[in-house]
Every structure is written in C-alpha cells, then in structure tokens.
C-alpha cells in the first residue's frame, strides 16, 4: 500500500490519517513538536524541525506523496521535498495563502471581491492607508496569523499607533472593516483529473477570533449559494489545485467578499464528518491519491461546535446527547484557546 506523508501533526493531520486508513493508506507524519495529536493514529511519525535536511530527505524517501495540514511550512523545506516527491496541493497555493497581500492580489486578479487593503510597513504607510481605507479597519500581520492572532482593530485614527505596535515590527496589511451580515465558508475539492466538487456552504460564528460554530445549511439565497460555489471553483481551477480547499466568505448586501483561503482541510468543514457520505478528510485523501472525488452531498443538517479550552468540561453531558457525534483530538492539556475537539449535532433532512 502507498504511504501518504503529512506535514504537520495537529488535529487536522490526525483526522486525515484516520480517513486515509479507511481507504487502505498508511500515513507518515512530519512534525517538529513531540507527541502530536496525529501521532496516536498515524503509522509513523518523524519528530524533526523543518530545517533538518537529513530528516526531510528520509521522510520524502519513505512516502509516495506529500500533503500538509497547515500552510506555514518554510520555503526551503518545500524546495527540498518537491525535488523528491509531488506536493499536493501545489506550491503556488501555499505561497499565496502564506501571505495576505499575495492572497488578495491573486483573488482580485481573478475578479473576486475582497475587503479594500493596503500594505503597511511603517507609521507613514499606515497613515496613508487609513486616509484611503478609513475606519473602522483591521491591521493584520501579512504572515503567520491564525485564530485571529496578529490582528488589531482600529476603530478611530488615534488607535493607529497601538495597532502598529501590536504587529511587533512584522509587515502588515490594513483591511477595511467589512460590515457583513454573516460569514460562510465553502469547502471545495479538485481531483487530479480536474473535476471539482463543493460541499454545501456552512455558516460560521467566531468568538475572540476563533471559530466557535459552523451551521449547515447556511443562510444564503440560491443565487448566493451558487456564487459561493462558483468562487471556490474559480480559485481551484486558477491554481490547477489538487486536494481540499477552504474559502472563507463575508456575506454583504453588495455580494460575497473573500476573506481568506486555506489550502487544506478546514475547521469549518468538520460538519461533513457526520453530514455527508464522504467527508472533507476522505475527499482530500481521494484527491491527492488520484481517486475520483466522492459524494459530498449533504444528507443531514448539522451544527458543528468547537470544544475550546475549558469546554472539555461539557464532554460528559455531550456524550449523553442524542444525535451528537463527538470528535476528540487526544490533546493532554486544555489551555485557553486550544482546540480540544468538536461535536457535530445532526438532524437528518
Ligand atoms: P483563521 O483561524 O480562520 O485562519 P485568521 O487569524 O487568519 O483566522 P481572519 O480569518 O483574517 O484571521 O480573521 C478572523 C475573523 O476576524 C474573521 O473570520 C472575521 O470574523 C473577522 N475579520 C477578519 N477580517 C475582517 C474584516 N476585514 N472585516 C470584518 N471582520 C473581519
Ligand atoms: Mg487564516
Ligand atoms: Mg480566517
């Protein structure tokens, strides 16, 4: 049987490994941190840093295809791996999603709408950007942000200095604050043969910058729903993408704006585990191994709730609920803001 190499050993790598095992594949995780959540279920784990050329070379030699569960993999590591094995999804998708400005330039180049944005590397840049974009606005580091980290809101110009200080010297992007009615995401997949399949859009609620809940069906008109799916398909085709992609969208009266894309399985797609015959994890494994894409049509309504930090206290009660599927990540310690698991509450359609 073939071996799938996964860069990153978090919960996404764990659930990818479970899905791969169901299809008869073995997974080999590459992760710098000790005892990663994916390590419990994968067949092999390499614990080494991304600048360890020997470990990377050995990893590539031991796997048939390389994929990843997070986007911030150092370029040098990817260069080394790519010389030895196929990386799916492809490098350009990673490069674009690693940099919020490259991402927005790419999206606008495809004719897709985003928030107005401007590069900020100095106080002078920020003053100019605030003049054109106005307030409220959000300053974000261009790289390495997740779960709302590396962001500062600017409600009025007198908050500019503090927001800039919060970037800690990193390059940033100022985004106009989008007054959206709600947020949705499309989890989409593209196969090696170029076929595209999208899961039904989910509606997302964030708390303190972290995804709290995803609900399907989302509140969308039929026209908005097809717009959302067409946006995702356009991105997949433009990148000649292979695998699963998450597209975060703001719903506004003027239409859908793209917030960001994630070139991987996505937290807002966890509902598919209990709402579809083939979930996002299996879909990703199918895509990168050249299988036909699976049936991702939705057979149930689902509310996915993340279990974050102290939410683990709710687990005994949830375990006794009807129509509730628990997915726990096996993390030893519940720290504030740490995703410990999720629950899918299911209602057949
Ligand atoms: P993720 O964990 O999804 O990768 P992230 O750290 O990359 O998060 P964003 O998705 O950019 O951060 O922002 C997190 C949340 O903050 C968004 O889902 C949205 O609720 C809010 N937000 C971000 N940008 C804007 C904006 N320009 N206007 C209004 N709200 C925004
Ligand atoms: Mg992000
Ligand atoms: Mg986001």
Same domain, 187 and 288: yes
Average confidence score pLDDT of the chain? 96
User: Would residue 35 count as lying in a domain?
Assistant: yes
Same domain, 204 and 272: yes
CA gap 123, 140 in Å, rounded = 14
Q: Which of 97, 107, 148, 306 to mutate to test the pocket of ligand 1 (most atoms within 8 A of CB)?
A: 148
Q: Residue 204 CA: which ligand is closest?
A: 1
The whole-number pLDDT of residue 147 equals 82
Same domain, 120 and 61: no
Same domain, 74 and 144: no
Cβ 177 under 6 angstroms from ligand 1: yes
Is 298 known as a binding-site position? no
Cβ 148 under 6 angstroms from ligand 1: yes
Span 34-47, average pLDDT = 96
Span 325-347, average pLDDT = 96
Look at the block and give the residue holding tokens 């600048």.
51
User: Would residue 102 count as lying in a domain?
Assistant: no
Categorize the per-residue pLDDT at 148 as very low, low, confident or very high, splitting at 50, 70 and 90: confident
Last residue in a domain, options 35, 69, 87 = 87
Same domain, 227 and 124: no
Query: Does 112 have pLDDT greater than 70?
Result: yes
Is the ipTM reported for this complex over the cut 0.85? yes
Is 267 known as a binding-site position? no
Q: Kindly report the protein residue whose alpha carbon is nearest to atom 25 of ligand 1.
A: 177
Cβ 203 under 6 angstroms from ligand 1: no
Query: Does 7 have pLDDT greater than 90?
Result: yes
The whole-number pLDDT of residue 333 equals 92
Categorize the per-residue pLDDT at 348 as very low, low, confident or very high, splitting at 50, 70 and 90: confident
What is the H or E stretch that residue 313 is in? none
Output the pTM of the full model.
Answer: 0.96
Residue-by-residue DSSP string for 56-125: HHHHHHH-SEEEESSS---HHHHHHHHTTS-BSS-HHHHHHHT-HHHHHHHHHHTT-----EEEESSHHH
Span 208-232, average pLDDT = 97
Query: Does 220 have pLDDT greater than 90?
Result: yes
Residue-by-residue DSSP string for 23-61: TT-EEEEE-SSSS-GGGGTSSEEE---TT-HHHHHHHHH
Query: Does 145 have pLDDT greater than 90?
Result: no
Cβ 145 under 6 angstroms from ligand 1: yes
Span 171-199, average pLDDT = 97
CA gap 172, 161 in Å, rounded = 13
Same domain, 70 and 121: no
User: Would residue 98 count as lying in a domain?
Assistant: no
User: Would residue 285 count as lying in a domain?
Assistant: yes
CA gap 114, 258 in Å, rounded = 5
Last residue in a domain, options 128, 157, 176 = 176
Categorize the per-residue pLDDT at 194 as very low, low, confident or very high, splitting at 50, 70 and 90: very high
DSSP conformational letter for 322 = T
The whole-number pLDDT of residue 1 equals 65
Index of the ligand 1 atom closest to the CA of residue 176:
27
Boundaries of domain holding 25: 3-87
DSSP conformational letter for 276 = B
User: Would residue 111 count as lying in a domain?
Assistant: no
Span 318-333, average pLDDT = 97
Is 203 known as a binding-site position? no
Same domain, 7 and 80: yes
CA gap 120, 98 in Å, rounded = 17
The whole-number pLDDT of residue 86 equals 96
Same domain, 43 and 125: no
CATH number of the domain to which 294 belongs: 3.30.470.20
Q: Work out the percent of the chain whose per-residue pLDDT is above 90.
A: 96
Same domain, 322 and 188: yes
pLDDT tens figures, 235-263: 999 999 999 999 999 999 999 999 999 99
The whole-number pLDDT of residue 196 equals 98
User: Would residue 104 count as lying in a domain?
Assistant: no
Is 260 known as a binding-site position? yes
Same domain, 228 and 172: no
CA gap 339, 309 in Å, rounded = 6
User: Would residue 103 count as lying in a domain?
Assistant: no
Cβ 175 under 6 angstroms from ligand 1: yes
Q: Residue 149 CA: which ligand is closest?
A: 1
User: Would residue 129 count as lying in a domain?
Assistant: yes
């Amino acid at each position: 049987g073939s071996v799938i190499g996964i860069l990153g050993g978090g919960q996404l790598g764990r659930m990818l490994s479970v899905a791969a095992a169901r299809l008869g594949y073995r997974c080999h995780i590459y992760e710098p941190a000790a005892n990663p959540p994916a390590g419990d279920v994968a067949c092999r784990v390499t614990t080494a840093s991304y600048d360890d050329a020997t470990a990377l070379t050995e990893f590539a030699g031991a796997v048939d295809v390389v994929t990843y569960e997070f986007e911030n993999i150092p370029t040098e590591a990817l260069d080394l791996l790519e010389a030895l094995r196929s990386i799916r999804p492809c490098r350009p998708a990673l490069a674009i999603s690693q940099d919020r400005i490259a991402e927005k330039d790419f999206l606008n180049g495809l004719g897709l709408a985003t928030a107005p944005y401007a590069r900020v590397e100095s106080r002078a840049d920020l003053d100019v950007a605030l003049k054109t974009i106005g307030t409220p606005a959000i300053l974000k580091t261009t790289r390495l942000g997740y779960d709302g980290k590396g962001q500062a809101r600017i409600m009025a110009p007198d908050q500019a200095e503090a927001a800039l200080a919060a970037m800690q010297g990193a390059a940033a992007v100022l985004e106009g604050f989008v007054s959206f009615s709600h947020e949705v995401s499309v989890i989409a997949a593209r196969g090696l043969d170029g076929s595209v399949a999208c899961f039904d859009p989910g509606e997302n609620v964030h708390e303190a910058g972290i995804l709290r809940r995803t609900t399907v069906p989302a509140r969308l008109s039929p026209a908005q729903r097809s717009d959302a799916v067409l946006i995702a398909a356009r991105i997949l085709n433009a990148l000649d993408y292979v695998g699963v992609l998450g597209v975060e969208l703001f719903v506004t009266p003027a239409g859908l704006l793209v917030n960001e894309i994630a070139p991987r399985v996505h937290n807002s797609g966890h509902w598919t585990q209990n709402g579809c015959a083939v979930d996002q994890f299996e879909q990703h494994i199918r895509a990168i191994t050249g299988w036909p894409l699976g049936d991702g049509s939705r057979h149930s309504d689902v509310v996915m709730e993340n279990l974050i930090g102290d939410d683990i206290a709710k687990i005994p009660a949830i375990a006794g609920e009807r129509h509730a599927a628990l997915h726990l990540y096996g993390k030893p310690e519940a720290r504030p803001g740490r995703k410990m698991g999720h629950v899918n509450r299911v209602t057949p359609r």
